[in-house]
């Protein structure tokens, strides 16, 4: 029997994504509060996300999102990692308010520790990808539009991590095929 690497690529990327989800879940979290949400998207959901990113790029004028929308189509699997909002009630002032009670008056401003938690989860997930020799790139543009689409309900901050195992990482040295207006 011969098993060609190309025939098992998707299966291996899904296995890598599962290991990355475990790493993100088990990453340390402020005060032990588990407010991280993690999901994997594939196939038609990637296409829907890419289309929504193109619309968002046009609406917002952020041209790099067009490039990222084209780029994620080179991935068979995208990991989404987000955080729900929950004050840690430390009154640390890191969010810019002296107390958590003051911050609560501005619910759109996340607790700084929530943001740190999602960053640590992303780092843990990407470390696993590195160990497995899977190419990735952390993209806030993916997460920004995934949030608008409701792909991780209740999350205030989401990041996307497309995965690839090809001969060259498609997420670096990227050039958009869509010309930018001058």
pLDDT of residue 141: 96
Q: Which residue shows structure tokens 């296995």?
A: 15
pLDDT of residue 176: 62
Alpha carbon of 170 to those of 5, 75, 84, 115: distances in Å? 18, 8, 30, 27
pTM for this model (two decimals): 0.90
Cβ partners under 8 Å of residue 57, min gap 6 = 63, 64, 65, 66, 69
Of 120, 94, 123, the residue nearest 109 (C-alpha):
94
Max CA separation in the chain (angstroms) = 66
Q: Locate the domains of the chain by residue range.
A: 22-164
List per-block mean pLDDT (blocks of 10 residues) for the chain, which spans 182 residues: 91 97 94 93 98 97 93 96 90 90 84 92 97 96 97 94 89 66 50
Strand, helix or coil at 182?
A: coil
The CATH fold assigned to 22-164 is: NADH Oxidase (3.40.109)
Q: Which residue shows structure tokens 């084209």?
A: 70
pLDDT of residue 89: 86
pLDDT of residue 56: 97
């Amino acid at each position: 029997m011969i098993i060609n690497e190309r025939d098992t690529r998707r299966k291996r990327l899904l296995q890598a994504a599962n290991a990355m989800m475990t790493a993100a879940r088990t990453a340390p979290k402020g005060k032990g509060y588990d407010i991280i949400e993690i999901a994997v998207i594939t196939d038609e959901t990637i296409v829907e996300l890419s289309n929504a990113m193109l619309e968002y790029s046009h609406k917002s004028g952020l041209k790099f999102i067009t490039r990222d929308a084209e780029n994620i189509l080179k991935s068979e699997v995208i990991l989404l990692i987000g955080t729900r909002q929950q004050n840690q009630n430390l009154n640390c002032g890191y969010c810019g308010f002296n107390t958590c009670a003051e911050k609560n008056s501005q619910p759109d401003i996340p607790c700084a520790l929530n943001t740190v938690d999602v960053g640590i989860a992303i780092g843990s997930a990407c470390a696993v990808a590195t160990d497995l020799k899977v190419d990735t790139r952390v993209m806030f543009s993916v997460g920004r539009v995934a949030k608008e689409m409701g792909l991780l309900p209740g999350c205030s901050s989401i990041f996307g991590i497309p995965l690839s195992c090809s001969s060259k990482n498609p997420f670096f040295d990227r050039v958009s095929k869509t010309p930018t207006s001058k």
